[in-house]
């Protein structure tokens, strides 16, 4: 921010001229606005070391890091040189290995690295580029020299977070953003999308546009938000390894309409986990047979498998010499001083300075942790030196530089913090590189330590490259240049896994809403002294809560005389996270299902996810007085998600499966409630009928139609056979029937004589609907009892048939 003489740098002068001074009130407002936007966008990072849970809000500081355009130009030249060098080294390692045969590197640098994948040796790379996306972590020392801390070549994380940081701060600090003429990021992402397309095999795709998939480990990965975010912005299909299969040396995506060919895969799964057939056999994240498909030239994987070995500290220590050998140049961006134990000369220098070294595993895929030499006592250093001498090739050390700092807004003031900048490059069409004019800045949360790991609680910043000239016309990430080849999602079909998750989003959402109605009814009756019948209605509520598995049966079956005591105990159990049937547990399942398909839900569903997280945590700790209020909030959030689905989701296959999940769950719930009430066998008391009407949201409609007291036949007409009431059983079955009729057709099913589960499903739904309609004509209680019994197994069978037909790709065969 300031020069060595304490003067404010020119680009910061521009910033403050537009922003004004950092007053506590103004910055608090800016910070609150930024955090609110991040919350509304659902931006998260999964921190496995967070005791309060894995998923936490993305930590963005409201003060950006500013660099001048001339300084960034010099950095960019060094980054392009570094990326070029790394790619040349990888080409040699997986090709002729002349660096090894000529003695430029020791054999252990290559063969001791678990990241070197022998199965990829000699493998041609479709498109000709091993690296499509490259990243480097940079620090600036006390002399102002930018240095490379490490390179990221396997599946560089952070480019999506950098884009989201920019989206938030360009709105939060709109005036300074315009005044500083900040370089835009959108051209870089257009270049990245084009680079992915160029990597695909020639003559692949539809109309010249290769079909692209972003391979993610799934929603439990630390950067899953970024995976979904990038897939949306780069127009790729987000998929997990289990979503794909190799047939005849080609990769296919499992979709609702069958298998669809994949041309290019941008992988976010570590290299060794991408193919359990040839790499790590214990991997459940990859695609069996993927390497053979790459060898056959039918699919491209970017970055190329095996590229992760370029992240090793051992290789970094040899980069100065390799640059002179391969490029005939010294490094424009020198390394942070790095020493590898596998090199005898470097090992002696490392051991001599062990009290100053930051020790790391030499290879990125080796287990281990950072050991900070200055923090170790003499005995610990001696033990570390012994371990280094025992296996020197496994260890590398870096001499810490005194890093420059950036302003961090904390506790109503600006404080200096050490920083690391992650810069990104993508391959360009001319064989060169395009540098993103910005980056992901990570900043230490503690002024005493320079650690900037997001897993350790570090924060992030946006990086602004301040230009002297206004940036050009802003281009949106929608239309490519005329005639350009760009990746496209697998055409017109929903991956089976996504359909499965959407189906369960519907089921869990309806299950949670039903539980909320039960618990709200219970809390209101416990506190209602004005209506004598309120206490009488606790016993039927307890029975229904037991049927819904919210509480154990020993409480659900308590006699009427113990209903008040039992309900107080039931309310605690029904929101206990340790109870697998509790509302909190169901909410957790709903959040996980929604998180797995966040890229396919309306954008505002991100806010719903955040609010569900907050409400679930508060429910688990709520006393009875707070519970009623929280349940009301919960009901509103669930209703808001339903409204978003109805108003914002296209009526495609994904929406139909979500609706099917909701309607099947509501139908199952209705049948179970009616069976638990005994309404088919006996004439239930008024209290039970009042509860049934309330839980079906039918109370107002009943009183409007039937102003006299509650009567069984009248109640059943609303609960069962009313074709217009959204909670009646007939309404659910008719909705299911319509949605099933509009599902994508299945490919030829099995051999001759095989049974099509979709046809069985359609028949099952039609028969159930006819039975319920018959009840409206006959009002036969015997028929009602038989119908409820049949629906008790038929409705779950419908769910199983949907799974068999569309989610699991199980195909029946003739005997």
pLDDT digits (tens, 9 = 90+) for 672-703: 988 888 776 666 677 888 888 888 887 787 77
For tokens 């991040």, the residue is 38
Confidence of residue 494 (pLDDT cuts 50, 70, 90): confident
Q: What CA–CA distance (Å, rounded) separates 38 from 40?
A: 5
In angstroms, the Cα distances linking 675 to 548, 613, 774, 786, 787 are 12, 33, 18, 11, 11
pLDDT of the residue at 40: 66
Residue among 480, 510, 489, 511 at smallest CA distance from 600: 489
Is pLDDT at 794 greater than 80 in this prediction?
Answer: yes
Percentage of the chain surpassing pLDDT 70?
A: 84
φ, ψ of residue 18 in degrees (nearest 5): -90, -30
404-424 pLDDT, tens digit each: 787 777 766 777 888 899 999
Is pLDDT at 812 greater than 70 in this prediction?
Answer: no
Is pLDDT at 4 greater than 90 in this prediction?
Answer: no
Query: What is the chain's length?
Result: 815
Confidence of residue 71 (pLDDT cuts 50, 70, 90): very high
Is pLDDT at 149 greater than 50 in this prediction?
Answer: yes
216 near 242, Cβ under 8 Å?
no
Highest-scoring range by mean pLDDT, 298-307, 378-387, 553-562, 619-628: 298-307
Q: What CA–CA distance (Å, rounded) separates 372 from 354?
A: 9
Q: What CA–CA distance (Å, rounded) separates 214 from 160?
A: 13
Low-confidence winner among 81-95, 148-162, 277-291, 520-534 (lowest mean pLDDT): 520-534
Is pLDDT at 190 greater than 80 in this prediction?
Answer: yes
Is pLDDT at 705 greater than 90 in this prediction?
Answer: no
Q: Which residues pair with 408 in a beta bridge?
A: 415
Q: What CA–CA distance (Å, rounded) separates 17 from 14?
A: 5
pLDDT of the residue at 318: 96
Q: What CA–CA distance (Å, rounded) separates 615 from 519?
A: 15
Confidence of residue 62 (pLDDT cuts 50, 70, 90): confident
Confidence of residue 744 (pLDDT cuts 50, 70, 90): confident
Q: Where are the beta strands (DSSP E) in 668-752?
A: none
Q: What CA–CA distance (Å, rounded) separates 157 from 141?
A: 24
pLDDT of the residue at 246: 96
To 10 degrees, the CA torsion angle through 107, 108, 113, 116? 10
Cβ-proximal residues to 1 (8 Å cutoff; 6+ apart), any chain: 8, 9, 12, 66, 406, 407
Average pLDDT of the chain to the nearest whole number: 84
Confidence of residue 17 (pLDDT cuts 50, 70, 90): low
pLDDT of the residue at 751: 40
pLDDT of the residue at 291: 96
Mean pLDDT, to the nearest integer, of 425-430?
A: 93
φ, ψ of residue 109 in degrees (nearest 5): -65, -35
φ, ψ of residue 527 in degrees (nearest 5): -100, 0
293: tokens are: 């498909």
pLDDT of the residue at 749: 46
Mean pLDDT, to the nearest integer, of 716-720?
A: 80
H, E, C per residue of 78-114: HHHHHHHHHHHHHHHHCCCCHHHHCCCCCHHHHHCCC
43 near 610, Cβ under 8 Å?
no
Q: What CA–CA distance (Å, rounded) separates 25 from 409?
A: 12
**Whether the bond into 657 is cis, omega within 30 of 0:** no
Is pLDDT at 399 greater than 80 in this prediction?
Answer: yes
pLDDT of the residue at 776: 61
Q: What CA–CA distance (Å, rounded) separates 343 from 243?
A: 44
449: tokens are: 């330590």
Return the domain boundaries, the chain: 65-311+404-466, 496-807
Q: What CA–CA distance (Å, rounded) separates 638 from 627?
A: 16
pLDDT of the residue at 815: 32
Other Cβ atoms less than 10 A from the Cβ of 123: the count is 15
219 near 196, Cβ under 8 Å?
no
Mean pLDDT, to the nearest integer, of 59-70?
A: 88
Confidence of residue 452 (pLDDT cuts 50, 70, 90): low
Is pLDDT at 200 greater than 80 in this prediction?
Answer: yes
Mean pLDDT, to the nearest integer, of 272-284?
A: 94
Is pLDDT at 757 greater than 80 in this prediction?
Answer: no
76-108 pLDDT, tens digit each: 999 999 999 999 999 999 999 999 999 999 999
Is pLDDT at 160 greater than 70 in this prediction?
Answer: yes
For tokens 């004509």, the residue is 777
Percentage of the chain surpassing pLDDT 90?
A: 43
Cα-to-chain-centroid distance, residue 497: 14
Where is pLDDT greater, at 159 or 763? Answer: 159
Is pLDDT at 722 greater than 70 in this prediction?
Answer: yes
pLDDT of the residue at 227: 92
Is pLDDT at 143 greater than 90 in this prediction?
Answer: no
Where is pLDDT greater, at 477 or 460? Answer: 460
For tokens 């319920």, the residue is 772
Confidence of residue 455 (pLDDT cuts 50, 70, 90): low
End-to-end CA distance of the chain: 76
392: tokens are: 């020197």
pLDDT of the residue at 695: 87
Mean pLDDT, to the nearest integer, of 121-138?
A: 91
Apex CA 808: angle with CA 805 and CA 811, to 5°?
A: 55
pLDDT of the residue at 220: 82
Where is pLDDT greater, at 613 or 131? Answer: 131
């Amino acid at each position: 921010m300031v020069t060595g003489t304490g003067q404010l740098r020119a680009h910061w002068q521009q910033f403050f001229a537009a922003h004004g001074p950092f007053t506590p009130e103004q910055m608090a407002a800016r910070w609150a606005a930024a955090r609110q936007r991040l919350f509304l966008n659902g931006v998260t990072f999964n921190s496995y070391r967070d005791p309060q849970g894995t998923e936490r809000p993305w930590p963005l500081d409201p003060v950006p890091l500013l660099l001048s355009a001339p300084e960034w130009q010099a950095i960019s030249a060094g980054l392009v040189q570094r990326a070029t060098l790394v790619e040349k080294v990888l080409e040699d390692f997986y090709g002729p290995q002349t660096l090894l045969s000529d003695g430029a590197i020791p054999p252990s640098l290559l063969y001791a690295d678990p990241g070197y994948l022998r199965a990829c040796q000699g493998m041609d790379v479709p498109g000709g580029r091993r690296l499509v996306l490259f990243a480097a972590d940079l620090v600036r020392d006390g002399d102002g020299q930018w240095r490379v801390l490490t390179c990221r070549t396997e599946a560089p994380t952070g480019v999506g977070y950098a884009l989201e940081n920019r989206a938030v701060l360009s709105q939060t600090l709109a005036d300074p953003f315009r005044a500083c003429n900040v370089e835009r990021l959108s051209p870089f992402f257009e270049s990245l999308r084009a680079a992915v397309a160029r990597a695909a095999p020639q003559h692949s795709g539809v109309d010249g546009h290769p079909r692209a998939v972003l391979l993610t480990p799934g929603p439990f990965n630390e950067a899953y938000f970024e995976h979904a975010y990038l897939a949306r912005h780069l127009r790729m299909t987000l998929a997990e390894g289990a979503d794909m299969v190799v047939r005849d040396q080609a990769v296919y995506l499992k979709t609702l309409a069958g298998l669809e060919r994949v041309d290019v895969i941008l992988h976010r799964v570590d290299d060794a986990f991408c193919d359990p057939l040839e790499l790590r056999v214990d991997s459940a994240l990859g695609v069996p047979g993927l390497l053979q498909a790459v060898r056959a030239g039918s699919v491209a994987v970017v970055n190329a498998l095996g590229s992760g070995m370029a992240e090793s500290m051992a290789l970094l220590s040899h980069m100065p010499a390799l640059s002179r050998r391969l490029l005939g140049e010294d490094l424009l961006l020198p390394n942070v001083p790095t020493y590898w134990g596998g090199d005898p000369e470097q090992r002696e220098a490392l051991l001599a300075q062990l009290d100053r070294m930051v020790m790391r595993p030499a290879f990125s895929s080796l287990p281990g942790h950072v050991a900070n030499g200055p923090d170790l006592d003499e005995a610990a250093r001696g033990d570390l030196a012994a371990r280094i001498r025992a296996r020197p090739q496994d260890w590398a050390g870096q001499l810490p530089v005194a890093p420059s700092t950036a302003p961090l807004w904390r506790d109503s003031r600006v404080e200096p913090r050490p920083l690391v900048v992650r810069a990104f490059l993508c391959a360009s069409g001319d064989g060169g590189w395009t540098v993103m004019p910005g980056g992901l800045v990570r900043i230490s949360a503690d002024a005493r330590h320079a650690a900037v790991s997001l897993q350790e609680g570090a924060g992030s910043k946006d990086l602004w490259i301040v230009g002297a000239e206004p940036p050009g016309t802003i281009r949106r990430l929608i239309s490519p240049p005329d005639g350009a080849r760009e990746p496209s999602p697998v055409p017109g079909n929903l991956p089976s896994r996504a359909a499965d998750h959407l189906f369960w989003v519907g089921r869990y959402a309806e299950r949670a809403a039903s539980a909320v109605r039960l618990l709200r009814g219970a809390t209101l009756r416990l506190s209602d002294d004005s209506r004598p019948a309120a206490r009488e209605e606790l016993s039927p509520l307890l029975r229904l809560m037991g049927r819904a598995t919210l509480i154990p049966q020993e409480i659900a079956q308590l006699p009427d005389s113990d209903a008040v005591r039992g309900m107080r105990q039931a309310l605690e159990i029904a929101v206990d996270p340790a109870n697998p049937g509790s509302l909190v547990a169901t909410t957790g399942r709903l959040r996980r299902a929604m998180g797995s398909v966040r890229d396919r839900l309306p954008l505002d569903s991100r806010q719903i996810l955040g609010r569900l997280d907050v409400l679930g945590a508060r429910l688990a700790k709520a006393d009875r007085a707070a519970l009623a209020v929280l349940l009301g909030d919960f009901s509103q959030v669930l209703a808001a998600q339903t409204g978003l689905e109805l108003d914002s989701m296209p009526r495609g296959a994904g929406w139909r499966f979500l609706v099917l999940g909701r309607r099947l769950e509501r139908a199952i719930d209705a049948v179970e409630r009616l069976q638990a009430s005994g309404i088919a066998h006996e004439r239930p008391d008024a209290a039970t009928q009042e509860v049934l009407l309330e839980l079906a949201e039918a109370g107002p409609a009943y009183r409007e139609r039937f102003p006299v007291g509650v009567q069984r036949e009248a109640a059943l007409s609303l609960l069962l056979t009313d074709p217009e009431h959204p909670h009646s059983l007939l309404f659910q079955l008719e909705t299911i029937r319509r949605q099933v009729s509009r599902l994508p057709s299945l490919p030829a099913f099995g051999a001759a004589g095989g049974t099509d589960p979709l046809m069985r499903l359609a028949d099952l739904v039609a028969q159930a609907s006819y039975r319920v309609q018959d009840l409206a004509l006959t009002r036969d209680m015997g028929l009602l009892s038989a119908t409820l019994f049949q629906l008790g197994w038929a409705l779950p069978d419908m769910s199983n048939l949907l799974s068999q037909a569309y989610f699991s790709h199980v195909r029946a065969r003739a005997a």
